[in-house]
């Protein structure tokens, strides 16, 4: 059909209808495309808008700020350090870790690729970790060989910690014997605070069972450079930490070899938890058990599938995998500020009056580590992460074992509090992830959707031959097929309806008019015969032709 005929007076009706249908289809496609584009933009912009509208602390992605708290109480320096590429000195570059984040829920940990080479970092949980998330993280460590670091100064992580026999106190720890001083701009120390706690920490050995000679041995620069920090300790700073206690679980009693639990750092025997807020170690309301831990690590032997070491059947350049022995590790730290920009980096700490060595006013760790120098918590925690990630696991292939970019570190950004505006969005994302990541809930949702579709199919009436019915509210049985004997009656009804509407009459007004007047109104012999003939019998083909005539009736030629 030439385009010039479309829409012209007297042009074919099917051409006009086809043009209108094409135009509607194009308009619908444009609406769909624009809707998808707007949705995609909102999904990208809204999270950033919500983050910008809320003050977030201990985030790996917030840098700078107007106040010292906004600037130093973040994890951006830690993230930069872990991502940093290092020059090996021979022209080779050692790549940093692959760093990512999650803003919905940490329940997805078990869906990650190579979970035994992945670490989840939860620092400063402002919202409690619920039971479902705790179970997922527990399975991630104990069954998939995943790595986790949890740092908190309150009880928000206790749902998770209790699964490993660890309990966080909910009040600050005070330590008269292990505290450090902070100096003002004139070099004068502020009043001592027992909440500025230090400790000498080990990377992979229990300080309660280390030999005395190793307890006083500080890790050398060579050990630190080569990540061989065994039989030595490093000073670590904490700002207003709480304390932790460990109690063996039932599994530890029945199967003591199923895991290894180590106290990597602890407070002094004189430390106490200031529950009453009296700053008094002698107050009976302030617990002082004498074994308050600051860093606790639990390791689990796990089987995982990965590229094995070449001597165990692996071949360089191939993608074959085999079952290898790995270790699932989780470390609990009793202070989130230990990972902050201020304590992570020595230069930033010095701007806040924290020094790298101890003087005669407060000997600090020098009585324990005579040659100890504190160069920021990054030295210790970087070595701890390196050890937990098993870069020296002889079971794994050497093709990627020393390549940090093959290992993933994910910061949990979902534990930060949200404002009123962002809460519905964040909670919705968490609910969607919960429903789609839990196998039972996922299939339950699929089953319910299937049942809803089935019910909809059953209650929608079947369309009649001559008109469409869109009525989802009619809960009736489907109507049967039309009786052929009623075809003529239906066509007659269509004719009288067309005449009544054309002359703007009601049903009663049309019924009161004599047949002769109605015949004059119809003014078409074939249609008059259809309306009043009692003897004429019509075939289906004739009735279809009459329906075409009824559609054309009343229209100008």
What's the pLDDT tens digit per position in 346-400? Answer: 999 999 999 888 765 567 888 888 888 899 999 999 999 999 999 988 888 887 7
**Does the structure show a pLDDT above 50 at 15?**
no
Q: Which residue has the higher pLDDT, 180 or 439?
A: 180
pLDDT of residue 65: 73
Q: Which residue has the higher pLDDT, 19 or 173?
A: 173
DSSP 3-state of 407: coil
Of 128-132, 428-432, 460-464, 479-483, give the lowest mean pLDDT range: 460-464
Nearest in space to 162 (alpha carbons), one of 186, 189, 136, 131: 131
Which residues partner with 330 through β-bridges?
148, 298
Nearest in space to 513 (alpha carbons), one of 522, 530, 524: 522
List of residues 6+ apart from 97 with CB closer than 8 A: 82, 83, 404, 405, 407, 408, 409
DSSP readout, 176-196? SSSB---B-TTSPBPPP-TTE
**Does the structure show a pLDDT above 70 at 103?**
yes
Specify whether the CB–CB gap between 521 and 496 falls below 8 A.
Answer: no
* Kind and range of the H or E run holding 101: strand 98-102
pLDDT of residue 44: 62
Confidence of residue 2 (pLDDT cuts 50, 70, 90): very low
| pTM as predicted | 0.69
pLDDT of residue 219: 92
Residue with tokens 């692959």: 98
**Does the structure show a pLDDT above 80 at 464?**
no
- Which range has highest mean pLDDT (226-240, 439-453, 461-475)? 226-240
**Does the structure show a pLDDT above 90 at 452?**
no
């Amino acid at each position: 059909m030439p385009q010039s005929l479309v829409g012209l007076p007297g042009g074919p009706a099917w051409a006009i209808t086809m043009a209108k249908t094409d135009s509607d289809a194009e308009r619908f496609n444009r609406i769909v495309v624009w809707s998808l584009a707007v949705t995609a933009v909102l999904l990208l912009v809204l999270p950033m808008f919500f983050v910008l509208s809320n003050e977030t602390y201990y985030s790996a992605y917030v840098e700078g700020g107007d106040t010292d708290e906004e600037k130093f109480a973040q994890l951006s320096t830690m993230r930069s350090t872990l991502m940093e590429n290092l020059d090996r000195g021979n022209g080779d570059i050692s790549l940093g870790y692959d760093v990512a984040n999650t803003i919905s829920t940490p329940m997805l940990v078990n869906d990650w690729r190579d979970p035994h080479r992945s670490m989840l970092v939860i620092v400063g949980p402002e919202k409690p970790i619920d039971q479902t998330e705790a179970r997922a993280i527990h399975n991630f460590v104990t069954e998939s060989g995943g790595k986790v670091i949890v740092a908190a100064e309150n009880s928000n992580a206790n749902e998770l910690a209790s699964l490993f026999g660890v309990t966080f106190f909910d009040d600050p720890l005070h330590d008269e014997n292990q505290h450090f001083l902070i100096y003002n701009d004139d070099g004068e120390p502020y009043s001592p605070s027992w909440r500025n706690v230090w400790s000498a920490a080990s990377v992979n050995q229990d300080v309660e069972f280390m030999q005395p000679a190793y307890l006083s041995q500080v890790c050398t620069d060579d050990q630190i450079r080569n990540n061989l920090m065994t039989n030595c300790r490093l000073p670590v700073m904490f700002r207003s930490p709480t304390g932790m206690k460990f109690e063996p679980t039932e599994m530890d009693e029945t199967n003591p070899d199923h895991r290894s639990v180590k106290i990597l750092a602890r407070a002094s025997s004189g430390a106490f938890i200031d529950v009453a807020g009296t700053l008094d170690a002698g107050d009976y309301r302030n617990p002082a058990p004498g074994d308050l831990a600051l860093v606790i690590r639990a390791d689990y032997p796990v089987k995982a599938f990965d590229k094995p070491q070449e001597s165990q059947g692996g071949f360089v350049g191939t993608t074959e995998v085999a079952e290898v022995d790995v270790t699932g590790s989780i470390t609990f730290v009793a202070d989130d500020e230990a990972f902050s920009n201020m304590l992570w980096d020595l230069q930033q700490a010095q701007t806040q009056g924290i020094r790298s060595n101890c003087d005669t006013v407060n000997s600090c760790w020098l009585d324990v580590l005579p040659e100890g120098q504190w160069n920021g918590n990054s030295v210790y925690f970087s070595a701890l992460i390196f050890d937990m990630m098993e870069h020296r696991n002889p079971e794994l292939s050497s093709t990627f074992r020393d390549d940090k970019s093959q290992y993933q570190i994910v910061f949990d950004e979902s534990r930060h509090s949200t404002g009123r505006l962002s809460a519905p969005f964040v909670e919705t994302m968490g609910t969607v992830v919960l429903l789609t990541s839990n196998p039972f809930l996922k299939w339950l949702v699929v089953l319910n959707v299937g049942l809803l579709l089935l019910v909809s199919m059953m209650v929608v009436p079947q369309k009649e031959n001559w008109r469409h019915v869109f009525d989802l509210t009619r809960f009736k049985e489907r109507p049967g097929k039309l009786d052929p004997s009623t075809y003529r009656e239906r066509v007659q009804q269509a004719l009288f309806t067309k005449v009544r509407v054309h002359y703007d009459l009601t049903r009663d007004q049309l019924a009161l008019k004599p047949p002769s007047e109605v015949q004059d109104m119809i003014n078409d012999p074939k249609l008059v015969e259809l309306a009043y003939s009692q003897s004429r019998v019509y075939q289906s083909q004739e009735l279809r032709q009459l329906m075409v005539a009824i559609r054309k009736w009343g229209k100008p030629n």
